Structure 1
Amino acid sequence: MDNYSYDFFTEFEKEFESIKSKNSSIIKKCHAVIAFIEQELQELFSWLKKYKFNTPEEEIHFFKIIKPSIVAKLIYYKEILNIESNLPASKKNKIKHYEKSLNKIHKHSKSNKQFFEYYRARASHNDQLYFIRSNSRNILHDDCIYINYDSKLSTSHDYLIATMIAYDTLTTYLENRIEELETNCSIIHPSNDNLLNWSGSKVDLVELVYSLHHTKSFNNGNSDIKEIAAYFSKMFNIEIEESIYRSYLDIKARKIDRTKFLTQLSDTLNHKINEEEK
């Protein structure tokens, strides 16, 4: 990838994180992030219309990895804005509202199961069909927002990847919101003065705790899972100890990627390393 795109993505991530940190209200945050991403995408697509990729591999990398990572953020925050803007008043109806969104995600995942399995398996044998613009076909109009109307800007499957990434993150958000409502406990360890607060979901942390436990990463495997959970709860100001077994059952019940947070960690780090080596 050329210097422009590398600088673009570096600055994009910095500004994106800055905007998120400046807005405490979820609605205000969504509006600010959406406006920023839409503006940045217009600039990126102006460059994309003129840029000629040097190799098919470079084009595949852009449409399989780079573009979806940005578009996924836009999809995610638009979904959050729609969900939270229409949130009912009662606790019971809020839970139903979130569960309805989870059901929508489940149906989408089920209808695209074959491709999602291809992507999550890190397969590449169909990449030239899916992520080269000259091969774009079968793009459903209903699946495309304004950023996907131009064949110069899209392939047949890059938006589908972006949707999958966004829905993975959205699932975690919704599960966490439901858990908070059901337990009436969203305030955590106010007396702890640690500077590091876990800003991901509880389920993500439970996934990490179980992976560390089963790899015997603490005390040569002689630590109890509840001990580890209690330690992480205290250190990162988030209560997971009481609900850890239930969260683990939820993880086991996932149909597509049971360890999606660990997959995200691996994909993000590998992407960062690959970008730094270019």
Structure 2
Amino acid sequence: MNLYQYAFRDKFLEKSALCEKKKKNRIKSSKEFIIWAEDKLNELHEWLKKYNFEDEETEIEFFKEIKPCLFSKLIFQKEVLRIETRAPCGTKLSLRFFEEELKQTAKNLKIDPEFYNYVRSHSNARDHVYFTRKIKKDILEIDCFHLCFDPKISTYYDHKMAIILAHDLLVNYIENRIRKIKMKCKRKKKNYSESVGIQSKLHWTRNKTELIELVYAMHFSKVINNGNSDLKEIAKAVGLLFNIEITDNLYRTFTDIKNRKNQGSKFIQSLADNFQKKITEENSL
């Protein structure tokens, strides 16, 4: 029995596991793994071109389990690299980004339903068709870009199997990223409340920019502490009252408000308009 494929698999998966542990610099570790893996898989292909499996059972095992497992790691790391290099900074922006990625990942799995159901149901009746090289595949079923595949190194369906496995890895990865970001948001909110020893039951339900506009209006109008209060102190107190942290975005948001093409203080103006409207309605009764 040729043990090459098993030794190759063990070494490959060991390298993959080491990459998974390097979470601090995910982009760097993914790039290093991709470069290493592509070179190693080329070695596997050279071996496959010359090797004939001793029986159908061993061949099916290789093309159904071993090769898809290895290639799924490469596909997965390429997707991780793509996602992490595009992910924005900031907890809320990154949370929205990964939630959208999760939706798109679910939509982008383009595997024919028959084969997908076959894999998910753990069937084996057609393994000799899907995972052996000797069976001639129906050209009507094969995607165009697979027509140039070397039949000595692939059964075509082993690649589909790898995509399904990589999809599962990617979904799990994105879900973990979302879970960690949400935990970080909760800790940040909890620490903010605990730092001042108060927990308000009020929640700001408009956007953060409008609340910052209100903070600046109070500060410039000098209605708090006769104008002797610090802007960040007001922002911190208001944020505490409404369970929202706004001190980090104060100056950048104010710059955006000043640069509005139309009326800058549109939220403050809307408050005044609504208040005046209510007074008019009450007086007309």
Q: Which runs of 5+ in 1 are unaligned?
A: 188-278
Structure 1 position 149 matched with structure 2 position 149: yes
1:220-262 C-alpha deviation (Å, 9 max, x unpaired):
xxxxxxxxxxxxxxxxxxxxxxxxxxxxxxxxxxxxxxxxxxx
Rounded to whole Å, the distance in 2 between the matches of 1:105 and 1:22 is 23
Contact 2:111 2:160 survives alignment (8 Å): no
Instruction: Quote the residue 1:17 is aligned against.
Output: 17
Contact 2:149 2:156 survives alignment (8 Å): no
Instruction: Quote the residue 1:184 is aligned against.
Output: 184
Structure 1 position 40 matched with structure 2 position 43: no
Report the CA distance shift for 1:2/1:165 in structure 2 as closer, same or farther (over 3 A): same
Q: How many aligned residue pairs are there? A: 183
The one-letter code of the counterpart of 1:16 is S
Rounded to whole Å, the distance in 1 between the matches of 2:182 and 2:21 is 27
Rounded to whole Å, the distance in 1 between the matches of 2:93 and 2:142 is 35
Give 1:90 shift: 4.2
Instruction: Quote the residue 2:143 is aligned against.
Output: 140
The 3-state SS of whatever aligns with 1:184 is helix
Give 1:118 shift: 1.1
1:145-201 C-alpha deviation (Å, 9 max, x unpaired):
xxx8322211131111111111111111111211222332598xxxxxxxxxxxxxx
Normalising to structure 2: TM-score of the pair? 0.57
Whichever of the two has the greater Rg, that structure is: 2
Instruction: Quote the residue 1:162 is aligned against.
Output: 162
Report the CA distance shift for 1:14/1:111 in structure 2 as closer, same or farther (over 3 A): closer
Rounded to whole Å, the distance in 2 between the matches of 1:99 and 1:112 is 25
Q: Which runs of 5+ in 2 are unaligned?
A: 188-285
RMSD: 2.5
Report the CA distance shift for 1:45/1:110 in structure 2 as closer, same or farther (over 3 A): closer
The one-letter code of the counterpart of 1:136 is K
Give 1:6 shift: 2.3
Report the CA distance shift for 1:89/1:12 in structure 2 as closer, same or farther (over 3 A): closer
1:23-62 C-alpha deviation (Å, 9 max, x unpaired):
7300011011111211110111100000011222221111
Give 1:93 shift: 3.4
Rounded to whole Å, the distance in 2 between the matches of 1:72 and 1:62 is 14
